[in-house]
A and B are shown apart, each in its own frame.
Chain A
Amino acid sequence: MIEITPSIIEALAFYVFAVVLVVAAIGVITARNQVYSVLFLILAFFNSSGLFILLGAEFVAMIMVIVYVGAVAVLFLFVVMMIDIDFKTLREGAMRYAPLGLVMAIILMTELFLLFKASFGSEPFENHDPLVEQMTNTQALGSVIYTEYIFAFQISGFILLLAMIGAITLTQRTRSGVRKQNIEKQVATSQDDAMSIRKVEVGKGIE
């Protein structure tokens, strides 16, 4: 008789999330249809947020869904649907960049492996400070992000700002001869600007 305890359910949930996550991640790179790729990516984001919830990091999990699923992936889907990507021409040049991709993949794998080796078998980090244990997730994050890690936080914010300004300047172009609306001007018009009332005498007409 297997006793069903919360920890077993937790482990079960972990394996479900993890398996779906890995399958979805494989789906992202193998799907032939680009829209399917993006949908698999959304599934992957979703399951990773489930893993965060299992870790007790509910704030990060929710932010993950709001930012990645709710905004970033929507724009991915938007672009993929709008642009008709011709994969034949894309594939032609793929072999030229293969060595570079391979090097990057090896570096990433080494880093992940080192990280995994360093943390494998060690006890999970738990902070038993009574001050921390009383706090909710959000409060705990807020109390360190804006005090101890303010510089790292601000720098990452500035990098994002730079990226945003860069994207806007790259895509902005001014075309001449485009007639634009000036809404303030439109709103500010009155009856006098638009029309005038004249008395017309019979048989004379108006110039």
Chain B
Amino acid sequence: MLQDLSAQWTTFWAQNCTGFCNDMLMPLFWIVLHILTTVGVLLGAVAYLTYAERKVLAAMQRRQGPMTVGPLGLLQPIADGIKLLSKETIFPYQANKFIFILAPMITFGLALIAWVVIPVDQGLAISNMNVGLLYLFAISSMGVYGVIMAGWASNSRYAFLGGLRSASQMVSYEVSMGLVIVTVLLCVGSLNLTEIVMADRPWWMVIMLFPMLIVFLVSILAETNRAPFDLPEGESELSGGYMVEYSAFAFALFFLGEYANMILMSAMTTILFLGGWKVPFGLEFLSFVPGFIWFALKVCSVLFFFIWARASFPRYRYDQLMRLGWKIFLPLTLFWVVFVAGVLIYTQTLPFMAENMEKF
């Protein structure tokens, strides 16, 4: 009976579903596998980024850092995770429960879905879309919603102030980030992340883009609400800012989202300025090392910069932060866009210039 059924099923499958299976299900399976791997690696990276942050901060302040849980304290992130998950989720009185829960989900979800377009190696991206860079920029500009919704839904003054601060801060620094991206685009001539990495960059172009790398590094600190621009959290005056009412798993999601965002921004810097998965400084004898290792190393070095900045600088005052964004970075990057465009046209190195020569 059972064999009969299975035989029937096999013939039915062979007749009706193989085409469907080969055309649709197998790619779907691979995509799902790819997504799960990416998310898994990312979550592991986030866990050990918190560990690395505590160790590096400790080293800079002549302390030991986490050292008791497991060898060298290596199990500390897992212990922290278990602790957070086993706590009680507290809803503040009169908080808007739906949005209160939605906010950390948005923060975490956005930090994950941006990874769809990141190429960690040649051809190793889930989606190699034409407008990958714009997609990244769009996702990172939506990150503000998690914070502002959390601030509003918590029904608390501290949280609300944190949300408002974060909203204006992120909108301000996105302007200069966008202009920095435009200068890179001018040099590369494509919005596709793989093509941005593969594009040829002569030494003078690298020098020309270097000031933009500095602006971008400072902007991503502000965009991810990290020290010295962590005013939305501002422990000293807002006692935790938009996260003040969150506990347990909701807080964990915010925490994971913030660190995943840091990794994402580092990956963006790596792709735009540091050459992605390519061997650094053109050292060809090192090319036996697989590309994704170089990518990971470059991302780690930018992440180290995040922690380094946190250990080195005191927190900015809010008006100073706004002044830096609007009065210094915006004019500088705007001028640099015009300057780079001028240099590229003058030296006739603008991408696609050869094909469209009659227009110039």
Contacts and interface: CB of A to CB of B under 8 A. Distances in A.
B145 A42 contact: yes
Contacts of A78: 148, 164, 167-168
A59 B131 contact: yes
B141 interface: yes
B82 interface: no
B143 to A, nearest CB: 9
Interface string B130-143: 11001101100110
Contacts of A42: 145
B138 A82 contact: no
Given A70-B141, A147-B359, A77 B167 contact: yes
B176 to A, nearest CB: 13
Contact of B20 (A3, A58, A81): A3
A143 B163 CA distance: 41
Contacts of A58: 129-131
Contacts of A181: 319
Given A3-B20, A4-B20, A77-B148, A138 B141 contact: no
Interface string A1-33: 101100000000000000000000000000000
B160 interface: yes
Given A63-B134, A136-B130, A71 B20 contact: no
A39 B106 CA distance: 13
Nearest to B130: A136
Contacts of B148: 74, 77-78, 81
Contact of B16 (A1, A77, A138): A1
B144 interface: yes
Interface in B168-222: 168, 170-171, 174, 178, 190-192
B323 interface: yes
B323 A183 contact: yes
B190 to A, nearest CB: 8
A138 B20 contact: no
A35 B178 CA distance: 28
B152 A138 contact: no
Contacts of B164: 78, 81-82
A3 B356 CA distance: 46
A181 B171 CA distance: 24
A62 interface: yes
Nearest to A183: B323
B24 A4 contact: yes
A145 interface: no
A69 B141 contact: yes
Given A137-B131, A138-B131, A81 B138 contact: no
Interface in B105-145: 129-131, 134-135, 137-138, 141-142, 144-145
A138 B129 CA distance: 12
Contact of B138 (A3, A39, A70, A147): A70
A191 to B, nearest CB: 21
A75 B171 contact: yes
Interface in A40-75: 42, 58-59, 62-63, 65-66, 69-71, 74-75
A138 B174 contact: no
A8 B359 CA distance: 43
Contact of B171 (A3, A63, A74): A74
Given A58-B131, A62-B134, A137-B131, A70 B142 contact: yes
B323 A66 contact: no
Nearest to A181: B319
Given A78-B168, A81-B160, A81-B164, A65 B142 contact: yes
A59 B134 contact: yes
B167 A74 contact: yes
Contacts of A4: 20, 24
A136 B130 CA distance: 7
Contact of A66 (B20, B130, B141): B141
A88 B84 CA distance: 44
Interface string B329-341: 0000000000000
Interface centre among B24, B134, B163, B164 (most CB of A within 10 A): B134
Interface of B: 16, 20, 24, 99, 129-131, 134-135, 137-138, 141-142, 144-145, 148-149, 152, 160, 163-164, 167-168, 170-171, 174, 178, 190-192, 319-320, 323, 352, 356, 359
Which 3 pairs from chain A and chain B are nearest by CB? A70-B141, A62-B134, A65-B138
13 contacts: A1-B16, A58-B129, A59-B134, A66-B141, A66-B178, A71-B171, A74-B144, A74-B145, A74-B148, A75-B171, A77-B148, A81-B163, A143-B356
